[in-house]
Amino acid sequence: MEQAKPRQAVALIVGVTGMVGVAITEALKQPTTLGGLWTVYGVSRRSLPTWFPSSLLDKHIMLDTLNQHQTHEILAPLSSQITHVFWVALQVSESEQVCISLNSTMLSNVLNALTSSPNSKLIHVTLQTGTKQYVGPVFDPTLSTQLIPHDSPFIEDYPRLPFPSFYHALEDILASYSKSLAYSIHRPSMIIGASTRSYFNIPLTLAVYALVCKHQNYPFRYVGNKYSWEHFWDVSDARVIVEQQIWASVTDKAKNEAFNCTNGDVFTWKMIWKVLCDVFGVEFVPFDEKEKFDVVEFMKDKGEVWDRIVKENGLYKTKMEEITCFGPLDSLLKLEIQHVCSMNKSREFGFQGYSNTLKSIPEWVHRLRQMKILP
């Protein structure tokens, strides 16, 4: 397959400290990565945490991309160097309209800064969105009551749902640049990755919940409904997402296309719950729909318990409310849909990445333990 890449590829990872940002940083510095060894710049709003592999970055840029002046002042001088943008940044609000405004502003500010010069070298942008493309704004308190999701398995060519979506807004911004640069759109499911700096970090939220239950001798009860307990879901290993994004960024056939990106297998949450019990050493409790359980209410006063777990185990200092998302977790696992994406298009275009979900969870926990994020 023909691949296009400049002689010197320079990547700008926007959202570098998130689950996928960390994985991109590591992957681009591997000698076997498509396109060779890359120069890697990373953008984040805050300084790098101690667990971040900072030695792999050629340059770290602390920048609030919502600030148009600051973004232009810092990134415009780099426009003659940066060839690829990996967009894995995210600003979150309960209101989808606010999400549209925030995320559109960030992407526009960065692209304007990098393309304003006639010497701009930018040739490709990878945009990470997600499966709300097929389900709708599940976290908007008003719109979430009106959802009519597409049938699963979700396919990329489904028409847009009739709801406001910041995914659509970002896709439209990229399309407006299509005469001057190529892009690819990547739609992962729930992401498994190693970071304390990601919104909607469902796996880390479940880990904190399990460890609090273990510490306090509470039963580790399932937080969703019977439907999600018994029906199929999929997830996305950050390593697979990164493999797909890099592949698309250097592959002519993938230009200006959208791709689902999941591990390629499916599971039930009953299966996942057993794996979580094994890796965290808690007893498996079968789901009982007669027992009503509200994980948001249960965990709202457990911050001090997490503080003790962190202190007792000498972990990287985190606050429970900053690394967990019990509201979104509760919403997702109470959906009555089979959350499964088709990977057929991705395979047909030549991407063959895959991960065994039930094996990737223990690997993820091991990595977080090495980083001193989990005990």
pLDDT tens track for 23-64 = 999 999 999 999 888 999 999 999 999 999 999 999 999 999
Q: What is the model's pLDDT at position 2?
A: 47
Question: ω before 153 within 30° of 0 (cis)?
Answer: yes
Do 159 and 107 belong to one domain? Answer: yes
Do 174 and 71 belong to one domain? Answer: yes
Range of the domain at 258: 9-193+235-262+340-354
Number of domains making up the chain: 2
Burial 228-243 (b: 16+ CB within 10 A, else e): bbebbbbbbbbbbbbb
Determine, yes or no, domain membership for 367: no
Listed range (80-84, 164-168, 245-249, 287-291) with the worst mean pLDDT: 287-291
Do 178 and 46 belong to one domain? Answer: yes
Q: Is the model's pTM score more than 0.85?
A: yes
Do 287 and 147 belong to one domain? Answer: no
Residue 270 is a catalytic residue: no
Residue 167 is a catalytic residue: yes
> Quick one: tokens of 42?
């990373």
Q: 41, 134, 167, 209: which is the annotated catalytic residue?
A: 167
For residue 339, the cross-strand partners are 233
Determine, yes or no, domain membership for 38: yes
> Quick one: tokens of 59?
């340059």
Over residues 323-345, the mean pLDDT reads: 97
Determine, yes or no, domain membership for 371: no
Do 100 and 55 belong to one domain? Answer: yes
Over residues 347-373, the mean pLDDT reads: 97
**CATH number reported for the structural domain that contains residue 71 in this entry:** 3.40.50.720
Over residues 186-204, the mean pLDDT reads: 97
| Banded model confidence at residue 5, pLDDT cuts 50, 70, 90 | very low
User: What percent of the chain has a predicted confidence (pLDDT) above 90?
Assistant: 97
Give 214-270 pLDDT, tens digit per residue: 999 999 999 999 999 999 999 999 999 999 999 999 999 999 999 999 999 999 999
Determine, yes or no, domain membership for 88: yes
Does the structure show a pLDDT above 50 at 4? no
Do 76 and 136 belong to one domain? Answer: yes
